[in-house]
Structure 1
Amino acid sequence: MNTRKLVQQLVVIAGVGIFYSLIFSCAPHYSPIFPGLDVLVKEKVDLIRGKRIGILSNRTAISSDGKHIVNVLTAIPEVTVTTLINLEYGKQTERTDSVKAQIDSTTGIATYILHCNSRKLPSEMLQNVDALIFDLQDIGVRFSNDLRVMILAMEATANKGIEFIVLDRPNPLTGAIVEGPVLQPEFKSPLGLLSIPIRHGMTMGELALYINGEELLPHGLKAKLTVVPAKNWRRMQWFDKTGLQWVEVPSHTPTLEATLLFPGLHLLEGTNITVGGKPDQVYNCIGASWIDKELLFKKLKSYHLYGVSFAPVLFTPPKIFQITQSLNSQTEQCQGLSIKVTDRNVFRSVSCAVYLLSSIHQLYPNKIQFTHKFDLLVGNDTVRRSLIANVKPRRIIASWERELNYFKSIRKKYLLYN
């Protein structure tokens, strides 16, 4: 190869390098994201110094470098952690709240167990506490156990005049997308205590501000609330773009995609349709023994839904999904559809569930069954009635847009992130 050709090739290579450098330099740059726990320790430790501190958390309460909140706070001089309330998951019959503390022989911390389905936070757990820190990674859905527990904790601390400090974390489903019907007051239950959409697009800290600001606690109570925001998080960011560690707990979905499917597919818990999948792929398929998978696939395909694809599938639900109290506790092989999100920015889980249920009802009107739990999860009985009446899915979805827009206008003043 002569010198002239070599120089020409080097110039081309250099030009390509410069081109890609310009492209990447124009890409948006985000600063490292820190959860509220990190911000508390680095910038706001005076909030807890010299006080008897209680912590309500689970194993998701970790710092950006993976350290659990108890280890982080007990390492700070002049910070006294007296109480740890561990949030437990599983069947209520297997575990009950423990109001008798286990005392750690090394740290002296009194440790209690609070079940996720508890109706209240026992006052005995707060007897040696000046400020209760709440730190849980929520999944951004109205019927989340963690949200209900936060409401109970706000009420309990308000009753005792104790400070309530929320260490905020990103909403894993972004804070920009809001969908689903707003819960109507007459359908409030342990499955939904707030009149908010199914996918609310708020963080726990923002929800705490919303609850306090709108005076939603019982008897007009208001918590002595402080929210420590996460740092550098933007509303459009999905959890897997934050650089933070995803920690699975038993009640949560194991992956971000499963969490994205959860707001809609969890509604099927109020029907006799089974939601299943492999243990590491919760909520990735639905079906029943009486469904013809090819017919259902053809029906769903005709809607040309955005951001999602379906495929006919045979599956047997793992035992973890065979919930004995539900109609959908099928142990035999099911026919149905596997569900894969292809574009999460346009996919809407609740809308997808409406299309699924409408299609199944049109094909099997005498087979599909709805329970009262369905109405409690949805937040009204209008959706169920409309499905039974074969109202077109797009009209059902349009029916909640007005109340959704009103909620968005109210929530604006409580948002902490751009």
Structure 2
Amino acid sequence: MEKIFNPSGRCKIYQNYFRPVLGAAALIIFILSSSCGPGGQEVARPRVIKPGVKPGVEVFLEKHLDLVKDKKVGLITNPSGVNSKLESTAWLFKNHPAINLVALYGPEHGVRGEAQAGEYVPFYLDEKFKLPVFSLYGQSFKPEPGMLKNIDELMRKFDTQSSGKIPEENMVKGLDVLVFDIQDVGTRVYTYVATMALAMESCAELGIEFIVLDRPNPIGGKILEGAVLKYPEYSSFVGLYPIPERHGLTIGELARLFNDQFLKTKARLTVIPAEGWKRDWWFDQTGLPWVMPSPNMPTLETAAVYPGQVYLEGTNLSEGRGTTRPFELFGAPWIDGWELSRKLNSLNLPGVIFREAWFTPTFSKYQGERCGGCQLHVIDRESFRPFLTSLWIIQTVREMYSAQFEFHPDYFDKIMGNSEVRLALESGQSPEQIVNQLQAGLKEFDRLRQKYLLY
């Protein structure tokens, strides 16, 4: 049975609430582990893989091609825009007789996903697709020559600017519909959220329809964490609107919320939900293949720690960029990983164990320098709280290495969404105190988001 929601005539959401039973032979796979960590902590809970979750692109191609009939279509996508068979949305659209795809649009890292964080992505003509490819990450911004040697400085400057990231009229002129299909990671600072919001805003102003092909939130849709961004003082490309760091929404649900709450001119928005996803499912329970949505988001484990470890970008600690385990590894040349791991493990933080580690980044902070530090090992992702954990990492390093540790205050505050958390850490408040002070904002946001939920 299919329902069509059309609140105020502006936003249509298609959802199939009852999918056919896949058959008695459908497999539910339990991956069990009896291993325990120190203190008898459970190393891994049983993981149940749910068969048959359909991303929005499959639902769209099966049921809703009428939305683009006889229309010129643009597509915002990257390598994570694929169906369950790993066929790219761009290729499916280009080769579909009922879709007139006329242009591609790339977010940070580009349509092909090869550009590093903060790297300028230019306009080009794609030989494979025979289409123009417009950049929504710096079309009108060119880095200064000196900044090309310091990707971290470039990222901090570029991520907080909106110039060059809003589709200009000449980029979408002649389009009837702009479609968005990118895998988000459930974290406010991940720039694809802002790319979608700004594209939707541009389409609203130009009278172009906007369609979001929804995908599961890979870290689940129930847990909220972090600070609700202080708006508009801290609005930037790493956080446009007042939502928490870990917001518990899919990209389609975010589109609905943004359109209703924040866009001055409402977009002609249509959201095509995924089918079969439940809010408490992690990505590895969907049966869908993981495609890294950005160069430094290689695994689901990365996404699990990212809502906390991303704040290390606002410090002089390496967050593991330039290694094979970005955001899981962290450290600096002046850190003793053995001593730091002992101190962090003594805190008995929920769901995580710290292992001493040494690494040499191939790019980003401390390129070519041997760093001491730790690797986070999440042993129970249901109890693990990345925001609390990373506040403790920062506070512990501050205490142990007060002469060496530094904040990059402007950038830290931008990605945090306020200055209060940094000031609280500097004044010696405990991370638990800070987290408790943020609960009222999270509860208010939780009430706000309810009417935009699709699952």
TM-score interval w.r.t. the shorter chain? 0.7 to 0.9
Question: 2:370 aligns to what?
Answer: 333
Alignment of 1:128-167 (within 5 A): 128-167=174-213
1:19-41 Cα distance to aligned partner (Å, 9 max, x none): xx9999xx989451111100011
C-alpha RMSD of the superposition: 2.5
Does the aligned pair in 1 maintain the 2:296–2:321 contact within 8 Å? no
Q: Partner residue of 1:67? A: 87
Matched, 1:115 2:137: yes
Give the conservation status (yes or no) of the 8 Å contact 1:199–1:263. yes
Distance 1:182 1:345, change over 3 A: same
Q: What is aligned with 1:262?
A: 306
Q: SS where residue 298 of structure 1 aligns? A: helix
8 Å contact from structure 2 (residues 71, 100) kept in 1: yes
**Counterparts of 1:115 and 1:23, CA distance in 2:** 40
Q: CA deviation at 1:93?
A: 8.1
CA contact (8 A) 1:275 1:317 kept: no
In 2, the alpha carbon distance for the partners of 1:198 and 1:284 equals 18
How far apart are 1:229 and its partner, in Å? 0.4
Please give the secondary structure, in 1, of the residue aligned with 2:382.
Answer: coil
Out of 57, 73, 78, which is 2:98 matched to? 78
Is 2:50–2:285's contact at 8 Å kept on the other side of the alignment?
Answer: no
Size of the aligned set, in residue pairs, is: 382
Give deviations 1:181-202, integer Å, cap 9, x for gaps. 1111111122211111111111
- The CA distance in 1 between the partners of 2:432 and 2:28, in whole Å, is 43
User: What is the SS of the residue equivalent to 1:309?
Assistant: strand
> TM-score, with normalisation over the residues of structure 2?
0.78
- 8 Å CA contact 1:58–1:88 kept in 2: the answer is no
In the TM superposition, residue 273 of structure 1 has moved relative to its aligned partner by 1.2
Deviation at 1:365, TM superposition (A): 2.6
CA contact (8 A) 2:167 2:199 kept: yes
Match of 2:144 in 1: none
C-alpha distance in 1 between matches for 2:82 and 2:28: 37
How high is the TM-score relative to the length of structure 1? 0.85
Of residues 161, 167, 174 in structure 1, which corresponds to 2:220? 174
Residue 236 of structure 1 corresponds to: 280
1:73/1:81 contact within 8 Å kept:
yes
SS at match of 1:102: strand
The structure 1 residue matched to 2:386, chosen from 345, 349, 361, is: 349
Q: Once structures 1 and 2 are overlaid, which stretch shifts more, 153-162 or 57-66?
A: 57-66
Give 2:253's aligned residue. 206
1:251 positional shift = 4.1
Aligned to 1:36: 56
- Cα 1:59–1:22, aligned 2, differ >3 Å: closer, same or farther? closer
| Secondary structure at the counterpart of residue 187 of structure 1 | coil
1:151–1:407 Cα change, 3 Å:
same
1:376 to partner: Cα distance: 0.9
Secondary structure at the counterpart of residue 377 of structure 1: helix
Residue aligning to 1:280? 324
Q: Is 1:190 paired with 2:212?
A: no
1:370 pairs with one of 407, 410, 413: 407
8 Å Cα contact 2:136-2:166 kept in structure 1: no
Deviations 1:53-102 (A, max 9, x none): 1111112111122211133223433321122223351368853442xx63
Structure 1 counterpart of 2:145: none
1:82–1:128: 8 Å Cα contact kept in structure 2? Answer: no
Alignment-derived partner of residue 393 in structure 1: 431
Matched residues in 1 for 2:116 and 2:126: separation? 25
How far apart in 2 are the matches of 1:383 and 1:260? 21
Q: Deviations over 1:247-279 (max 9, x none)?
A: 124444101101111111110111111122774
How far apart are the structure 2 equivalents of 1:23 and 1:86?
Answer: 36
Which of 286, 289, 294 is the equivalent residue of 2:333? 289
Q: Among 62, 66, 80, which residue is 1:46 paired with?
A: 66
Mapped partners of 1:203, 1:375: distance in 2: 25
1:10 is aligned to none
